[in-house]
C-alpha cells in the first residue's frame, strides 16, 4: 500500500504467491516473529486452491480500477466481438497509469444532493514545513511522486510524508481524489485508521504528513502465510469491521478495501490506509472504482450503491484471508469473465471445509449477498448484524477497539524508524529538489493545502 500511496493506479514491486507449495494448517505461528519484507515462505494450500480452480501462477499486488461504469447488459449480453473487446479494454485499465474515477457532476445531479452530504468536522491540525523534517529514505515511488520516511526535528517522532507532484496530479486528472483524500482523512480519527497530521504545498508539490506504520501490508503477511487460521482472519476482519463502521457513521464510503490497503502497526493492530477513493455520501453514489476482485455486483452493474459495498468487500477479504485467494479469482486477466462470475453470486463459490468453518462460510455468504437490501451491514440493524454474527461470538468489541487484545502476529521491528518491511528505492531525484521555487499554475486547484513548504 505504501508503494501506492504515491501512485494508487500502478503495480509497483514484485510479491508473488506460489500455490504449489505445501503447508500445514498450524504452520502460521502467531507468536513467531517473521520479517515482512522478504520472499514468500515455502508454504501453500494447493489442495484447497485446486478445489475451486484457483492458485495457478503468480499473484501480485492488485491495482485499483477506476473508470466510468458500464452497464452489465453491455458486456454480458453483447455478442459482437469488437464491442466486447472495446468494453474489455475500457474496464481492464487497472494496469494503466492513466486510470481515473469520473465522479458524479454536481450540476448534473443537482446541487441539492451536494448540500445534503454529511457535514464532516475537521480535526485540529498542526502547521508543518519542509524544514521541520529530516528525510530518512524513500518508502515507495509512483507516477505522482514518492512516500518518504521522515523524522521530526521537534518531537523526534517518525512520520511518512506523501509527496505528490501537482503537474502530474493534474495531468492524470486526480485533482478531485487528491482533495478528497485530504478532506476525508482530516475528519477521521480512529485507532484502526491511518492518521493525517497535516498537509501543505510548495510551488511544485503537495505534502501529506501521515503515520509511519512500520509493519508493512497485511497483503505481504497473507502471501507469506498463504492463508490464515480462522482465529487470525477473525482478528483482522473484526478490526477492519470496526474501522468501516466508524467511517460509515461519518457518512464516508471507503470503496477500496483489500489486504494491500491494510497496514500492520508495530503492535500488530491494523491501520486502514489509502483514502484516494473514499467519498462522503449522503445516500448513494454510482462511480465504478475499487479493485476488480472486490467490486460488488451493483458497482459493476452501474447501479447506485451505498456503504454496503464496503461490507461486501469485507466478505471478500475474509474469504481471501481464510483461503489464500479471493472467491472469484481467475488466472487469466479477463475482467469481463471476472465480472460475470461476480454477478453470478456466491452460490457458485467453493468453500472447502478445511479452510472454512460453518460460521465463517455463513457470514461470508451474508456479506457477499448479491441483493444489497439483504446484505449484512445494510439491513435494519446495520453493522450490528455483522458484529453479532456467530463467527464473531467470542470477540470483545470494546476491548478490541481499545487495542487491549494482543494481536496474533507481531512484526519484527528493530526500534523506532525501522523501515525494513519496505523495499529499497534509489534516492536520486528524491527529496533534494523539494522546496525549490518553480512555476506554479495549479496551486489554486488544491485550496486546503497551505503554502508553507518553502518557509
What would the grid cell of residue 175 be? 485533482
Distance CA 376, CA 369 (A): 8
256 is annotated as an active-site residue: yes
Taking residue 333's Cβ as centre, other Cβ atoms within 10 Å add up to 11
Q: How far is CA 404 from CA 269, 391, 393, 399, in A?
A: 10, 20, 17, 5
Radius of gyration from C-alpha coordinates of the chain: 21
Helices (H) and strands (E) in the chain — how many of each? Answer: 16, 12
Closest by CA to 439, choosing from 165, 185, 178, is 165
Ramachandran angles phi, psi of 406, nearest 5°: -70, 130
Distance CA 52, CA 48 (A): 7
Closest by CA to 293, choosing from 324, 264, 267, is 324
What 8-state DSSP symbol labels residue 162?
E
Instruction: Establish whether 171 is an annotated binding residue.
Output: yes
Contact at 8 Å (CB) between 258 and 310? no
Distance CA 433, CA 6 (A): 17
First to last CA, the chain: 31
Q: Which residue has the cell 476491548?
A: 399
Ramachandran angles phi, psi of 145, nearest 5°: 160, -140
Closest by CA to 263, choosing from 199, 212, 206, 202, is 212
Taking residue 74's Cβ as centre, other Cβ atoms within 10 Å add up to 14
Distance CA 186, CA 41 (A): 38
Catalytic residue among 7, 256, 274, 385: 256
Distance CA 129, CA 152 (A): 10
Taking residue 53's Cβ as centre, other Cβ atoms within 10 Å add up to 12
Q: Which residues of 356-383 are buried (b: 16+ CB within 10 A; e: fewer)?
A: beeebbbbbbbbbbbebeebbbbbeebb
Question: Alpha-carbon dihedral of residues 132, 208, 197, 139, nearest 10 degrees?
Answer: -80
Look at strands 133-141 and 65-67 and give their pairing: unpaired
Q: Which residues participate in the annotated binding site?
A: 171
Residues tagged in the binding site annotation for ATP: 171
**Catalytic center residues:** 256
Amino acid at each position: 500500500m505504501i508503494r501506492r500511496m504515491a501512485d494508487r493506479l500502478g503495480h509497483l514491486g514484485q510479491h508473488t504467491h506460489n500455490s504449489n507449495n505445501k503447508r500445514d494448517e498450524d504452520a502460521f505461528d502467531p507468536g513467531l516473529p517473521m520479517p515482512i519484507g522478504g520472499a514468500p515462505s515455502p508454504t501453500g494450500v494447493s489442495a484447497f486452491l485446486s478445489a475451486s480452480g484457483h492458485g495457478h501462477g503468480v499473484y501480485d499486488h492488485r491495482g485499483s480500477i477506476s473508470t466510468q461504469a458500464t452497464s452489465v447488459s453491455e458486456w454480458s449480453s453483447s455478442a459482437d466481438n469488437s464491442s466486447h473487446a472495446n468494453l474489455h479494454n475500457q474496464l481492464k485499465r487497472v494496469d494503466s497509469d492513466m486510470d481515473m474515477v469520473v465522479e458524479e457532476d454536481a450540476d448534473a445531479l443537482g446541487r441539492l444532493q451536494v448540500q445534503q452530504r454529511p457535514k464532516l468536522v475537521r480535526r485540529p491540525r498542526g502547521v508543518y514545513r519542509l524544514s521541520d523534517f529530516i528525510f530518512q529514505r524513500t518508502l515507495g515511488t509512483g507516477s505522482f511522486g514518492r512516500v518518504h520516511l521522515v523524522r521530526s526535528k521537534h518531537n523526534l517522532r517518525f512520520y511518512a510524508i506523501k509527496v505528490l507532484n501537482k503537474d502530474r496530479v493534474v495531468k492524470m486528472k486526480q485533482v478531485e481524489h487528491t482533495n478528497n483524500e485530504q478532506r476525508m482523512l482530516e475528519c477521521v480519527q480512529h485507532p484502526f485508521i491511518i492518521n493525517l497530521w497535516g498537509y501543505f504545498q510548495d510551488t511544485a508539490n503537495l505534502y501529506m504528513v501521515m503515520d509511519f506504520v512500520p509493519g508493512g501490508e497485511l497483503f505481504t503477511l497473507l502471501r507469506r502465510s498463504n492463508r490464515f487460521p480462522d482465529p487470525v482472519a477473525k482478528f483482522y476482519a473484526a478490526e477492519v469491521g470496526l474501522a468501516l463502521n466508524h467511517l460509515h457513521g461519518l457518512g464516508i464510503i471507503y470503496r477500496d478495501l483489500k489486504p494491500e490497503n491494510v497496514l500492520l502497526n508495530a503492535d500488530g493492530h491494523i491501520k486502514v490506509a489509502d483514502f484516494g477513493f473514499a467519498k462522503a455520501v449522503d445516500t448513494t453514489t454510482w462511480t465504478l472504482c475499487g479493485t476488480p476482485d472486490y467490486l460488488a455486483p451493483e458497482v459493476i452493474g452501474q447501479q447506485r450503491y451505498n456503504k454496503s459495498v464496503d461490507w461486501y468487500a469485507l466478505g471478500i477479504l475474509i474469504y481471501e484471508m481464510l483461503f489464500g485467494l479471493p472467491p472469484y479469482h481467475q488466472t487469466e486477466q479477463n475482467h469481463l469473465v471476472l465480472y460475470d462470475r461476480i454477478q453470478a453470486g456466491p452460490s457458485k463459490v467453493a468453500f472447502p471445509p478445511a479452510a472454512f468453518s460453518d460460521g465463517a462460510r455463513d457470514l461470508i455468504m451474508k456479506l457477499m449477498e448479491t441483493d444489497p437490501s439483504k446484505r449484512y451491514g445494510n439491513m435494519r440493524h446495520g453493522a450490528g448484524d455483522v458484529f453479532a454474527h456467530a463467527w464473531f461470538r467470542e470477540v470483545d468489541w470494546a476491548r478490541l477497539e481499545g487495542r487491549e487484545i494482543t494481536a496474533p502476529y507481531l512484526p519484527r521491528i528493530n526500534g523506532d524508524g525501522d523501515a525494513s518491511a519496505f523495499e529499497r528505492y534509489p534516492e536520486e531525484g528524491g527529496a533534494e529538489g523539494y522546496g525549490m521555487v518553480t512555476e506554479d499554475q495549479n496551486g489554486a486547484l488544491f485550496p486546503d493545502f497551505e503554502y508553507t513548504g518553502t518557509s
